[in-house]
Amino acid sequence: MPHKIAVIGGDGIGPEVTSVALEVMRAAGADLETTDFRLGGFRYLEDGVVLPDETLEELRGYDAILLGAVGTPEVPPGVIERGLLLKARFELDLYVNLRPFVLPNGHEFVVIRENTEGTYAGEGGFLRKGTADEIATQGSVNTRKGAERCIRYGFELARSRERKHLTLVHKTNVLTFSGDLWERTFQEVSGEYPDIETAYNHVDAACIYFVEDPTRYDVVVTDNLFGDILTDLGGAVAGGIGLASSANLNPERIAPSLFEPVHGSAPDIAGQGLANPTAAVLSGAMMLDFLGDSETAGIVRNACDDVPSSGTTEEISSAILANISQGAP
């Protein structure tokens, strides 16, 4: 039975890279039934639509969502991010953001970012906006349920890996309420996983270690804001954010998970055949893994090894497809 995939090409280079990802997955043997959804900044400029509730309900009927990239300079900041990306995360309860990184030396580690709470929950507001006495507040919403389910996911993932090591990253010495909740929950849950070695890093120390000694990490779990920053840094040390893949997961599978490259829509090169599709292809491999087609996912992932990190879209996609046809190990 084919996997039913909702495809949101989005803006800029998004449609270009998702097209390559779908071609590569099919060449590797994936059976995909796809439906395109016209969503993104371009759609907002056409008719003011971002992500209608009826479209969101339609998306629930799919096995997974493959997203290219969204955002266009003509749309004010936050409109598409909050109206499409965050709405999908909140409404579909995509509470785990999973990002794998492979360093030039071959070391591989993953970061689990809590994806629906923290400072992204939208708590806050203005007083006396536009005056000399303006006040802006931006709260951070952290629940025991939200922290615990991400931490448990981290322990389970660490248990499935050879090294069996999990690091919590936070800022408990300053964020004494949210940090306390995360640290207490981490320590309590760790008692159920005596086979997993654990560590704790303040986020500022973790930023240093990501650059100077990333091999210390196996699985990292952190909150929404710190995870957003650390995963971009992880992409940079692993060869560039343009090569980074990601998954927004509903581990209970009561709603479709969403898979996307980390890079943006890059409107400056859209339509010129210059977009590197590798991150989108690797995001497709993550999607296939989550859907239970690990064999095909492995073929896709291996095909991305030793392909040029620069070049035209055609050159890079041809190299990936050639590796598949030649049976890359």
* 232 a catalytic residue: yes
Residue 158 lies in a domain: no
Number of domains comprising the chain: 1
Q: What is the pLDDT of residues 101-118, one digit of tens each?
A: 999 899 999 999 999 999
* 120 a catalytic residue: yes
The one catalytic residue in 4, 87, 93, 228 is: 228
Residue 206 lies in a domain: no
Residues with Cβ within 8 Å of residue 55, at least 6 apart in sequence: 37, 39
* 53 a catalytic residue: no
Q: Which residue from 15, 65, 117, 55 is spatially nearest to 249, judged by alpha carbons? A: 65
**Domain coverage including residue 32:** 3-94+250-325
pLDDT at 309: 82
* 200 a catalytic residue: no
pLDDT at 234: 96
pLDDT at 240: 87
Residue 64 lies in a domain: yes
Residue type, 159: R
Residue 10 lies in a domain: yes
* 44 a catalytic residue: no
- The sign one gets for the Cα dihedral 222, 228, 234, 235 is positive
The one catalytic residue in 120, 153, 193, 217 is: 120
pLDDT at 329: 53
Residue 35 lies in a domain: yes
pLDDT at 328: 56
- In the predicted model, residues of the chain with pLDDT beneath 50 are none
Q: What is the pLDDT of residues 56-82, one digit of tens each?
A: 999 999 999 999 999 999 999 999 999
CATH at 297: 3.40.718.10
Residue 89 lies in a domain: yes
Residue 36 lies in a domain: yes
The one catalytic residue in 31, 36, 232, 305 is: 232
Residue 209 lies in a domain: no
- Three-class DSSP labels, the chain: CCEEEEEEEECCCHHHHHHHHHHHHHHCCCCEEEEECCCCHHHHHHHCCCCCHHHHHHHCCCCEEEEEECCCCCCCCCHHHHHHHHHHHHHCCCCEEEEEEECCCCCEEEEEEECCCEHHHCCEEEECCCCCCCEEEECCECCHHHHHHHHHHHHHHHHCCCCCEEEEEECCCCCCCHHHHHHHHHHHHHCCCCCCEEEEEEHHHHHHHHHHCHHHCCEEEECHHHHHHHHHHHHHHCCCHHHCEEEEECCCCCCCEEEEECCCCCCCCCCCCCCCCHHHHHHHHHHHHHCCCHHHHHHHHHHCCCCCCCCCHHHHHHHHHHHHHCCCC
